[in-house]
Structure 1
């Protein structure tokens, strides 16, 4: 029995100011070190991306802190049925990276889950942080 929803609902009903406010909270998480990038057996794509482009913490911060409201695509409900109350925000950021000595402009697919921990502090989990591998549409571009 699968714990994933087949077709999670997508949300597009956002105003630019709502995404700007979300990004302010997101940036605070990044600056405060209250974030992680999922790197487990289900997230090999994230691991490969970080290794292929030699992305260290400094470069992570540069990319993540550079997200703008118009990089936003849409939001989706969490596919894991245990966490279906959570909404994940999807961004796509175009960025020039070093691919083993060769500069390459890459569309980076970033799926964000911002949650509140038991103390009430915000914590960000980057569920996806890899090269975009399917078509996306920006909400504000």
Structure 2
């Protein structure tokens, strides 16, 4: 762990209603275009995944809009000290994707940060959008 990150605590003590409310805001921000999927040099796994499965921004948007409360896994503290007050929400859902002409069922790991801008507007950042790397458990399955 680098000096700029801290240990992550996982939170699973949510009710279905709390996650449904989170997803309601999440999906509204996606529909409104007030979101971004992090596709930069620090998020090469996201970029590689979207390229490998030929996932357009529109297709990614549709995947995000399909998330359900049953796809919720946990929330975690943001590891960056300047954002320590934020919680990141993790979802995982299986989708059939095209892998160079061959249909493949893929578990997509989605980590999101629903926050407010300096002006007070809600904004959604999808910090992870890639194939699941590790076993995962779900809160409500």
The TM-score bracket by the shorter chain reads over 0.9
- More displaced stretch, 90-99 vs 56-65: 56-65
**Distance in 1, Cα, partners of 2:135 & 2:56:** 27
Other-structure match for 2:123: 123
5+ residue gaps in structure 1? none
Structure 2 length as normaliser, TM-score? 0.96
How many residues of Structure 1 are paired with residues of Structure 2 in the alignment?
140
Alignment deviations for residues 49-86 of structure 1 (CA, whole Å, 9 cap, x no partner): 01011111221121000000010000000011111110
Give the CA RMSD over aligned residues: 0.9
**Distance in 1, Cα, partners of 2:3 & 2:47:** 24
Report SS of the residue matched to 2:4: coil
Other-structure match for 2:93: 93
**Distance in 1, Cα, partners of 2:85 & 2:33:** 25
Moved over 4 A (4+): none
**Distance in 2, Cα, partners of 1:60 & 1:90:** 16
5+ residue gaps in structure 2? none
Other-structure match for 2:30: 30
